[in-house]
Amino acid sequence: MLKPTIGPIIGHVTTNHARIFIRGNSQNNAPVFGGIRYRISGTQQWSKAIFAKLSELRDMSEVLVLNNLSTDTEYEYQAGWFSPMSPVHTTDSVAELPLQWPREIYRLRTRSSKAMQARAYIVGSCRYLRMTAGVASLPHLGDRIFASISQLIEGAQPAISATLMTGDQIYVDDLNLIAPDREYKDILSKYRAAFSQPHIKHLMSGTSTYMILDDHEIEDNWPANAGKSDGELYRNAMAAYELYQVSHSPAHELTDNGQVNRSKLEHYWYQFSDGDIEWFVTDSRTRRNLSADDRRILDEAQEQALLNWLINSPARVKFVVTSVMFYPDRKVLGDDAWKAFPEQRLRLLETIRTRRIKNVVFISGDVHGSLTSRLTHSEAADFEVHTIVSSPLCNSKLLPYAKASTFILDQPLVTTAAGDYRHELTSTVISEDNFAHVVVEADQILVNYHDRDGKKLQSIAIKLR
């Protein structure tokens, strides 16, 4: 067996199952199979291997599901792919072959169901990896920060539950002015290049990774900039996105036999839980309505699902991921974010305020600057919402970093008959490549920002209520 060409990528993990993405390679139309075997760390006996046939239709990739795992337990696993001599093999028959597995052993940990247990996450967005003639240019620049993240994870207490990549994991449009990529094969090559770099590959093989798209997975400022000829671009970009970012996420339900249901994908937004902490990862990009009479950044079904979750979830902390800024608003170029959808934003805020929902934190990226901020209400002393912004993992030299002067901070976010929503920065604005290490403790959320070499830039404590 050979090492995966991309992966393994640990996707959605629960208390008892894990989804793992691997990719092999085509072998002159011969059948190709991918496989995984696992065991509890410290034991000797491997599980019966799980195999899947790899197909060109999915770019020789598949998501294998490990079921019936034990809660809060560390597992070891091996992964690889091969092409058997006989063309008539099936996933059942290859299990009987005397295979030589790749030597590398990876590790994953299932979730704990315990409440009030400290938990930690890595948050980042906007990883620029320029491609020239199909080849990554200076790829180590776009990969180095992931070595620092892995180093932090190795010694982190509490252990890191997951990495959240909140948009612009690739830049389909990195050469938009010269030679924009529109073809499916070219977009696939960007994913392969981005996810096969050594440091991000190491990170994703050992830490559960959740992803959601932003505009550069399609085109800058999508769909406002969409032209009449962009339908094919969108279809190609979404087909590649579904393979490399959605396939291992909770957006896919499981079939009755515990496998990823690839025949059904109703939307890209999803939820997941980690003990008494819950996440709602929104799709704030592909479901927009830009018409004047019903402007929406989230479609109606998604908004209703989010509101129902905010109202009814018993989670101690509720994280809402939105790839673009919820607040504060930018002075210029803000119309690509929630600033341009004020009615829908106000509906969310009014629900949180009138229902007295506590410990809601919005997580976003996009702006190539990192910050935390606090939103209060002039007439509701118990209303408080926070935002954590983490961007970029790797900037392009062509794009500026955000700074404090980028944002509108000298006036209320919203003024209503019931009072003003007022906001303030609770951190400095970081204007360099960085990532966030977010630790949820019993009485606070600690946000630690680190530069691309892992040096801590600042720490912010958000009190829980």
For residue 57, CA distances in Å to 54, 68, 184, 234 come to: 9, 29, 12, 18
Question: Alpha-carbon torsion 361, 308, 285, 331, what sign?
Answer: negative
Confidence of residue 178 (pLDDT cuts 50, 70, 90): low
For 328-381, write each residue's pLDDT tens digit: 999 998 899 999 999 999 999 999 999 999 999 999 999 999 999 999 999 999
What value, to the nearest 5°, has the Cα angle with vertex 216 and ends 207 and 192? Answer: 50
- What pLDDT band is residue 155 in, cutting at 50, 70 and 90? confident
The rounded percent of the chain whose pLDDT value lies above 70 is 98
Around 8, how many Cα atoms within 13 Å sit in the side-chain half-sphere? 31
d(CA 239, CA 188): 9
193-233 pLDDT, tens digit per residue, is: 999 999 999 999 999 999 999 999 999 999 999 999 899 99
Token digits for 139?
Answer: 């790829």
The interaxial angle of helices 300-312 and 342-354, nearest 10 deg, is 20
The rounded distance, in Å, linking the Cα atoms of 199 and 204 is 9
Closest-CA residue to 127 (of 281, 251, 245): 245
194's tokens: 């981005």
Q: Where in the chain is the domain with CATH 2.60.40.10?
A: 6-109
Residue pLDDT, tens place only, 78-119: 999 999 988 899 999 999 999 999 999 999 999 999 999 999
Q: Grade residue 177 by pLDDT with cuts at 50, 70 and 90.
A: low
Q: What are residue 141's phi and psi, to 5 degrees?
A: -70, -35
Type of residue found at 101: W
397 pLDDT band (50/70/90 cuts)?
Answer: confident
The mean of the pLDDT values for the chain is 95
* Pairing of the two strands 119-124 and 434-440: antiparallel
Residue 223: is the preceding peptide bond cis (ω within 30°)? yes
- CA nearest neighbour of 168 among 205, 121, 219: 219
Range 279-303 burial, b when 16+ CB lie within 10 A, else e: bbbbbbbbbbbeeeeeebbbbeebb
Q: Are 373 and 452 in contact (CB under 8 A)?
A: no
Average pLDDT over residues 143-170: 97
On the 0-12 / 13-18 / 19+ scale of CB atoms within 10 A, 103 is exposed
What pTM, to 2 d.p., does this model score?
0.97
Distance CA 161, CA 208 (A): 7
Level-2 CATH architecture, domain 6-109: Sandwich (2.60)
Domain 119-463 is found in CATH 3.60.21.70: yes
Rounded (5°) CA angle 200-321-457: 60
Structure tokens at 174: 């990195």
What local confidence, expressed as pLDDT, does residue 435 receive?
A: 98
CA gyration radius for the chain? 22
Where do you find CATH 3.60.21.70 in the chain?
119-463
50-54 and 32-40: which strand pairing? antiparallel
Residue 319 backbone dihedrals phi, psi, to 5 degrees? -95, 130
Note the pLDDT of residue 203.
98
**Is the pLDDT assigned to residue 176 strictly greater than 80?**
no
